[in-house]
Amino acid sequence: MALNCGIVGLPNVGKSTIFSAVTSAPAEAANYPFCTIDPNIGMVAVPDKRLDKIVELIPPAKVIPATVEFVDIAGLVKGASKGEGLGNRFLASIREVGVLAHVVRCFDNSDIIHVDGRIDPTNDIETINIELALADLETVEKRYEKQSRMGRVNKEQQKENEFYLPILDKLKAALSEGIQARSVITDEDEIKALYDLHLITMKPVIYVCNVDEDSILEENDYVKTVKEIADKEGSKVVVICGKIESEIAALDTQEEKNEFLEAVGLEESGLNHLIRSAYETLGLRTFFTAGSDEDRAWTFHAGDKAPRCAGVIHTDFEKGFIKAEVYNCEDLFTYGSELKVKEAGKLRLEGKEYVVQDGDIMHFRFNN
């Protein structure tokens, strides 16, 4: 899975506004379709209060947070799978991301044109899902045809097709009805078999409800509709007010941002929630290194063992891995210092088979 999140949706739902706020990068935003022709890309720091606490207890010269990449992809329209609008380019961009943040317009505003002339989250989601399903259907039909041909001339391939072709048949039936591949392909062996097709509708989705200021604290009917759809799919929902997030992003200091959030009745930015949701949905987790030179959050995949995580820092660490000194950041917060963590017997040595846990603070021993 690519380690990035693509922001998708119909034109004028607030994608570029949200992208600009989340990355504080100047994605072009305008009141007409296709203002974002080339995908905008921004690296975003993952908000993590644990790193802030580590910095308080182990003050460093430098602090480096974990990051995740966001890609702002121009608005899809009905017919995009057949090249309508700038559909083919947009679909190619979507194939390259690991998770989709599907922005859904959940606010009324007569000054901002809706591509269909009305606000209807169900229809908007369906339009996008159908276009993505039809794009995948074309991919699956081409593979089916190729596999069938190979099976006629190759006995080994024929045997493989006994497993593979029924999966493609199941997919064709679902996709032709606009049903997403992830809804019908759940078996691990089937997922592996289809990996090289890079199907868009196999990607996990986070629905992002873009609301007005009045609906940020009390969800409106549009948001309720999106949550019902997401529940059926097993997808996450994040509620954001793009206008508020843009105003927060324009503030200079964290203190000003905190004051603004307090004034509007929010504990944290909706974008922080989105960034963390994208990070977690990508299957990413965080371990830390801490010392006087640097406190740093490092990204790893859930389930990775200690040598692989050592390799995230440097390939030599993985090749020459001996042991890892490990304790969890929660132990640091409980005891107040690394020395007291050691005295409490919470620091331990782990070997090559240790599965690293989210929030571990690690120091690697290795051979040069």
pLDDT of 32 above 60: no
Looking at residue 252, its pLDDT comes to 84
- Between these two residues, 323 and 8, which has the higher pLDDT value? 323
pLDDT tens digit string along 145-176?
A: 988 887 777 777 777 888 889 999 999 999 99
Confidence of residue 38 (pLDDT cuts 50, 70, 90): low
Residue 261's pLDDT is: 92
Per-residue pLDDT at 85: 45
Residue 78 has pLDDT above 80, yes or no: no
**Whether the predicted pLDDT of 335 surpasses 60:** yes
Of all residues in the chain, the percent with pLDDT exceeding 90 is 52
| 24 has a pLDDT exceeding 50 | yes
Per-residue pLDDT tens digits for 59-77:
999 999 998 888 888 766 6
CA nearest 235: which of 99, 93, 73? Answer: 99
Query: Mean of the pLDDT values across residues 241-248?
Result: 90
Predicted confidence (pLDDT) at residue 310 exceeds the cutoff of 70: yes
Average pLDDT, the chain: 86
Residue 117: which pLDDT band, with cuts at 50, 70 and 90? low
75 or 187: which carries more pLDDT confidence? 187
Q: Indicate whether 3 pLDDT > 90.
A: no
Which of residues 43 and 227 earns the better pLDDT score? 227
Residue bearing the bigger pLDDT, 20 or 279? 279
